[in-house]
Amino acid sequence: MDENPFQSIISGASMTNGRFFKLLSATILTLFFYVSATGCAYLQRHYGEHCNSRAYTQIILSDYITSRYVSGSQVRMAVIPFSVPANISYRNMELPGLGNEMAWMVKAEMLRTGIVPIVEVLNRQDWPGKKEEFFTGNFGAIEMARDAGYDLVLVGFIDPINSLESASASVKIIDVDSGITVWYGQVRAFTLRNDGNYTAGQLMLDKYDPSRVASWAIFSKLAACIAEQATQEEEVVPE
């Protein structure tokens, strides 16, 4: 018996429609994942961590090293563990706390700039008066760094923390022989992740969770900004 021509047409149309809807579904899913990925990337870029700073004393570090030391000298910088507010510091050396972690992060970021050939953490947390000395000469830090054979010393303290979304630190880089402060500034890092988290929730890109705290990301950004600002190649004029 011959096949009904109308049945063939209907079957062909059904197959065509099936392929069309499969293709349409795949296209919609691809667009959805693309929009989600680009949307999340945009939010991370614009709602992540940022920083600002103010330099009170600024000598271009690279110029200072070039003029102060013989060309090719392996200039050494010591980074002293940061002083931190009492409520987040530890006495237990097995839990050295934020001050020690900040020193290691700043060390890594300073090495990343390539300005100072050798940067090491001078891990001495047993000497008193670090924060008090910051404004009165830093003689203890200078003496320790000089005795250990360093040329420069970086000292700093983290300001009292009154927000879960920001942190700031005051930092100095000092020539241990002359006592000259090469750089002195205050750096503040802050996060907009909570705003980004809320926006992502509104756009259904992520579930909004106001309890998310990006503390470690803030301190990581703070360390990066300290190194960036301390090694600026151009003098920054305060606003």
116-173 pLDDT, tens per residue? 999 999 976 555 556 778 888 888 899 999 999 999 999 999 988 887 788 999 999 9
pLDDT level of residue 222 (50, 70, 90 thresholds) = very high
**pLDDT at position 205:** 45
pLDDT level of residue 72 (50, 70, 90 thresholds) = confident
**pLDDT at position 93:** 39
Window from 94-103, 170-179, 200-209 with minimum mean pLDDT = 200-209
**pLDDT at position 130:** 67
Instruction: Report percent pLDDT > 90 for the chain.
Output: 44
What's the rounded mean pLDDT across residues 225-233?
94
Residue 175 has pLDDT above 80, yes or no: yes
Sorted by sequence, the CB contacts under 8 Å of residue 52 that are 6+ apart come out as 187, 188
**pLDDT at position 109:** 97
CA distance 61 to 229: 10
**pLDDT at position 194:** 61
Domain parsing of the chain, residue ranges: 1-46, 50-230
| Total-model pTM | 0.71
Q: Are 185 and 229 in contact (CB under 8 A)?
A: yes
Classify domain 50-230 by CATH architecture. 3-Layer(aba) Sandwich (3.40)
Q: Record the tokens describing residue 188, joined without a space.
A: 């503040």
